[in-house]
């Protein structure tokens, strides 16, 4: 019986070799595909629950009041006040990203070349900034930046100023507070990319006669662009929806769109208009990301890996 079964199997393989192999391959592919789907399924469920469904509900809330309408979007773009606030939001977010980059890049550059003990200490300081509450940090800046605060007292003592500087409840205070909060978010991406740069490239360039400035601009800076792009995009996306620091350190002229959304939800209970402003803010963020992808490439966000 066993020999007969083996003979029949050989005959079937001779008569139908390709279809049998194709069926086996299809079965194996289906099994591997189902396994991959099961592995990805929890992430897909989380994505649906925490991103797709909330955004879809906000969008539906913005166009139904209670019937289908676009009046909230029309009112937003017709009223110059909201256009001005949107421009201020983009302006402050861009400036906060720029100042964070100007401070964060040298910090990451120094950390890469620092001794291990010094590097661990400053890394600990950066990590501790995540633990301290945003309210505590903002109120500490109120104490420092007020008219009789530490900065004005020190500048007056040194004879640099005669009257106190106005550093609070304006754009300067907002930028100082936001930059302080966002520096770690731009240091870590840049530092992680810099860690992958081979220092032998610098030595080779210097041996060939390149100066330190040339080495930086032709080797270090281009190779660190993925970290710069990732950190800058992360900071801009976070700052465009930021509202705690502008509310505490800014004035009425420095209100950002997120502050107006908070007012519409909490004070005026106008959820439909607040939803419309939220969708507009989301669209602005997506446009910024599309511009980044067009000129720099989104693959730089993960170090040049093509997906």
Q: What is the CATH number of the domain that holds 114?
A: 1.10.3720.10
151, 243: one domain: yes
Largest CA distance in the chain: 108
43, 106: one domain: no
Would you say residue 29 has pLDDT above 70? no
- The token pair at 236 is 């801009």
Average pLDDT over residues 274-292: 88
Task: Compute the distance between CA of residue 126 and CA of residue 192 in angstroms, rounded to an integer.
Answer: 14
Would you say residue 304 has pLDDT above 60? no
59, 89: one domain: no
Query: Is residue 3 a part of any domain in this protein?
Result: no
Query: Is residue 170 a part of any domain in this protein?
Result: yes
31, 81: one domain: no
Query: Is residue 167 a part of any domain in this protein?
Result: yes
What domain range is 190 assigned to?
77-302
Q: Would you state the pLDDT for residue 235?
A: 92
pLDDT tier for residue 43 given thresholds of 50, 70 and 90: confident
47, 139: one domain: no
Would you say residue 206 has pLDDT above 60? yes
Query: Is residue 307 a part of any domain in this protein?
Result: no
Would you say residue 31 has pLDDT above 70? no
49, 99: one domain: no
The pTM score is: 0.78
Query: Is residue 9 a part of any domain in this protein?
Result: no
29, 114: one domain: no
Query: Is residue 96 a part of any domain in this protein?
Result: yes
Task: Compute the distance between CA of residue 228 and CA of residue 234 in angstroms, rounded to an integer.
Answer: 10
pLDDT tier for residue 305 given thresholds of 50, 70 and 90: very low
110, 253: one domain: yes
Query: Is residue 117 a part of any domain in this protein?
Result: yes
Would you say residue 22 has pLDDT above 60? no
32, 88: one domain: no
Task: Compute the distance between CA of residue 55 and CA of residue 61 in angstroms, rounded to an integer.
Answer: 10
126, 213: one domain: yes
Burial class of residue 188 (count of CB atoms within 10 Å of its CB; 0-12, 13-18, 19+): buried
Query: Is residue 11 a part of any domain in this protein?
Result: no
Compute how many other C-beta atoms are within 10 angstroms of the C-beta atom of residue 93: 24
Looking at residue 52, the DSSP 8-state letter turns out to be: I
| Residue that has been written with the tokens 């992430």 in this structure | 43
DSSP 3-state of 242 = coil
Q: Which residue has the higher pLDDT, 138 or 34?
A: 138
Tell me how many domains the chain contains: 2
pLDDT tier for residue 175 given thresholds of 50, 70 and 90: very high
Q: Would you state the pLDDT for residue 30?
A: 56
Q: Would you state the pLDDT for residue 301?
A: 56
Q: Which residue has the higher pLDDT, 135 or 95?
A: 95
pLDDT tier for residue 2 given thresholds of 50, 70 and 90: very low
**Most trustworthy range by pLDDT among 23-32, 161-170, 270-279:** 270-279
Would you say residue 7 has pLDDT above 70? no
């Amino acid at each position: 019986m066993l020999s007969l079964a083996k003979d029949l199997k050989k005959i079937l393989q001779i008569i139908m070799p390709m279809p049998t192999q194709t069926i086996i391959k299809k079965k194996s592919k289906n099994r591997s595909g189902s396994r991959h789907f099961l592995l990805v399924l929890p992430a897909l469920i989380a994505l649906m629950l925490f991103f797709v469904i909330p955004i879809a509900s906000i969008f539906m809330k913005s166009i139904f009041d209670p019937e289908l309408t676009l009046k909230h979007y029309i009112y937003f773009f017709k009223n110059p006040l909201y256009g001005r606030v949107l421009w201020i939001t983009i302006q402050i977010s861009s400036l906060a990203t720029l100042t964070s980059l100007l401070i964060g890049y040298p910090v990451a550059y120094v950390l890469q070349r620092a001794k291990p003990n010094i590097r661990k200490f400053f890394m600990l300081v950066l990590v501790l900034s995540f633990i301290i509450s945003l309210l505590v940090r903002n109120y500490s800046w109120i104490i420092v930046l007020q008219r009789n605060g530490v900065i004005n007292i020190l500048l007056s003592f040194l004879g640099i100023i005669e009257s106190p500087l106005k550093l609070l409840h304006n754009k300067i205070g907002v930028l100082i507070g936001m930059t302080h909060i966002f520096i770690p978010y731009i240091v870590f991406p840049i530092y992680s990319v810099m860690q992958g740069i081979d220092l032998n490239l610098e030595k080779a360039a210097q041996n060939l006669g390149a100066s330190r400035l040339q080495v930086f601009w032709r080797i270090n800076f281009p190779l660190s662009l993925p970290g710069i792009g990732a950190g800058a995009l992360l900071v801009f996306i976070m700052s465009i929806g930021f509202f705690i620091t502008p509310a505490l350190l800014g004035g009425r002229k420095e209100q950002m769109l997120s502050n107006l959304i908070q007012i519409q939800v909490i004070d005026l209970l106008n959820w439909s208009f607040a939803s419309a402003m939220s969708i507009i803010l989301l669209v602005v963020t997506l446009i910024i990301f599309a511009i980044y992808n067009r000129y720099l490439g989104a693959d730089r966000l993960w170090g040049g890996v093509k997906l």
